[in-house]
Amino acid sequence: MDKLIVVKIGGNVIDDDETCAAFLKSFAAQKEKKILVHGGGKLATKLAGQFGIQQQLVEGRRITDNETLKVVTMVYAGLINKTIVAQLQASGCDAVGLSGADGNVIRAHKRSNAKLDYGFVGDVDAVNSTFLNTLLQQNMTPVLCAVSHDGAGQLLNTNADTIAQETAKALIPFYRVELLYTFEKAGVLENVDNENSVIPKVTSKNYAALKKSGAIFAGMVPKLDNAFAALHTGVARVCIGKAEHLDALVAGTSGTSIVHE
């Protein structure tokens, strides 16, 4: 079975043109079949501000009203996605940028929550692995942004970590899938201010204890929960680490590996 790497690139990496360009060169050079998933960084928030759209964040999640959804679609599916695709093409990687609506790649439903209306935010129902696999089989590289659709004409703002995880899971029947979350830190850190305090391995056994002791920074918990969820569905390996270390992350010599044990 061929190997497939699903790489999520974090917003802070996208915000820095130089770091992003270096990452994309390194990503393009990976020989394995690969999929890139990206969110939006600060650009969407900045543009919404320029348009005079008030941003609401509740529990770290953006409330997506109709105007915010338009900005998200413009920035994620438009500017960022196409800039990434053009750069990958320039490095010899035959990238194809997709929102979840394109080829019905990511179908979701609008999140319903009795306590809070998140607006046009989607929770993923299905990934079109047939279409993604068709592209992969032609040595093309899908580049997915954090916009899905509901199949009834509504675009939905969707968490990019979740899209990466669901995409990895959907391709398990076809590939030995590895899921790499890359961001600005070298991995899961014991001390959030010390880049040398990377926890090399989080297992299902030590995770609860690490959380309880506060060794794992609260902001990392959703990422790790996603990672364990992915492992449980049959992803071969999940790794969290620095975007600039992509080669070493792929080789397994950098970052934090999340494993069963």
Question: Which residues lie near a copy of itself (CB under 8 A)?
Answer: 50-51, 70, 73-79, 81-83, 85-87, 89-90, 94-99, 101-104, 131, 134, 138, 140, 147, 149, 151-155
The answer for residues whose C-beta is within 8 angstroms of residue 218's C-beta and 6 or more apart is none
In the complex, what is the shortest distance from the CB of residue 168 to a copy of itself, in angstroms, rounded to a whole number?
Answer: 22
Specify the residue, 94 or 247, whose C-beta has the smaller distance to a copy of itself.
94
Which of the 8 DSSP states describes residue 75?
I
Specify the residue, 50 or 112, whose C-beta has the smaller distance to a copy of itself.
50
In the complex, what is the shortest distance from the CB of residue 252 to a copy of itself, in angstroms, rounded to a whole number?
Answer: 30
Specify the residue, 74 or 229, whose C-beta has the smaller distance to a copy of itself.
74
In the complex, what is the shortest distance from the CB of residue 12 to a copy of itself, in angstroms, rounded to a whole number?
Answer: 20
Q: Within the chain, what is the greatest distance between any pair of CA atoms?
A: 51
Rg of the chain (C-alpha set)? 17
Residue with tokens 């794992």: 216
DSSP string, 91-139: TT--EEEE-TTGGG-EEEEE---SS---BSBEEEEEE-HHHHHHHHHTT
Specify the residue, 87 or 159, whose C-beta has the smaller distance to a copy of itself.
87
Specify the residue, 3 or 70, whose C-beta has the smaller distance to a copy of itself.
70
Specify the residue, 51 or 234, whose C-beta has the smaller distance to a copy of itself.
51
In the complex, what is the shortest distance from the CB of residue 78 to a copy of itself, in angstroms, rounded to a whole number?
Answer: 2
In the complex, what is the shortest distance from the CB of residue 164 to a copy of itself, in angstroms, rounded to a whole number?
Answer: 19
d(CA 181, CA 194): 19
d(CA 257, CA 190): 14
> Do 4 and 35 contact (CB within 8 A), yes or no?
yes
d(CA 120, CA 154): 8
In the complex, what is the shortest distance from the CB of residue 30 to a copy of itself, in angstroms, rounded to a whole number?
Answer: 18
Q: Structure tokens of 178? A: 């590895």
